[in-house]
Amino acid sequence: MLGTVTLMKTIEGREAVAEPARKNDSEKRGRKASKEVRQLQLIEATIDSLAKRGYAETTMADVADGAGLSRGIVNFHFESKEKLLVATLQHMYDEYSAHWRNALQKAGDDPARQLQALVAADFDRSICNKRKLAAWCAFWGEAKSRPTYQALSSSRDAYYQQVFIDLCAALKESGSYAYEPQVMALALSAMLEGLWLRMMMGTEDTTRETALQAANAFLVAAFPEHY
């Protein structure tokens, strides 16, 4: 509920900001840059640190160093470490949401195509890479004990789940399947998250390619009349 409202606000805000990038596009690091650019820069450095060192070892100093800025700067732009991390999580959440919504929109009207587009979107390079996956997992590890993270840390929110359920229901309509849409949607979305987890941890035995292959095999198995 609250998650999706915030989502809309921030997606538009962030996207709008990211494009112009002001006049100082490439090199104005040591001196001054717009507030939004600097915040983005610090958020990216935070993701780097989370991926490299994990949540527990991510320090304000490391983030500042990673961004090539001084120690006190993070507290200036984000009041506290806590708020920096929330902003980082929000950023990743917004990016993920925008990504799958975009993929869904481009997929046309056929539910079968739409579902496959959603699955494929999950393994897109821009979303699904070591750096981002590691950062997600770092937050997952802390989510249950931090109420602030809980709403955002799933990336796949209630609305996303509902879209899956609706698509499964549509396929059931146009085919002769026996399963409850809700149940199959849960199995499918859980598998996608599980594949993410594997890609992060696995020692290269689960790659983007094999993961996508497994996901598609699931679709074929679950909806043989459509794929």
Partner DNA sequence: TCATATTGAATGAATGTTCAACAAATGGTG
Partner DNA sequence: CACCATTTGTTGAACATTCATTCAATATGA
Q: What is the binding site for a second copy (CB under 8 A)?
A: 51-57, 134, 137-146, 150, 153-154, 158, 178-180, 183-184, 186-187, 189-195, 197-198, 200-203, 205-206, 210-211, 213-215, 217-218, 220-222
Per CB under 7 A, 75 contacts DNA: yes
Total Cβ atoms within 10 A of residue 212: 17
**Residue pointed to by tokens 């009349």:** 225
Residue 87 CB partners (closer than 8 Å, separation 6+)? 39, 43, 78
Among 8, 12, 13, 59, binds DNA (CB under 7 A): 59
Among 7, 14, 38, 139, binds DNA (CB under 7 A): 38
* Residue 134 binding target from DNA, a second copy, none, CB below 5 to 8 Å by type: a second copy
Per-residue buried b or exposed e for 52-70, using 16+ beta carbons within 10 Å of the residue's own CB: eeebeebebebbbebbebe
Residues 163 and 166: their CA atoms lie apart, in Å, by 5
Per CB under 7 A, 225 contacts DNA: no
Per CB under 7 A, 110 contacts DNA: no
CB-nearer residue toward DNA: 1 or 56: 56
Could you tell me if 49 and 66 are in contact, meaning their C-beta atoms sit under 8 angstroms apart? yes
Give residues in contact with DNA (CB under 7 A): 30-33, 35, 38, 57-61, 69-77, 79-82
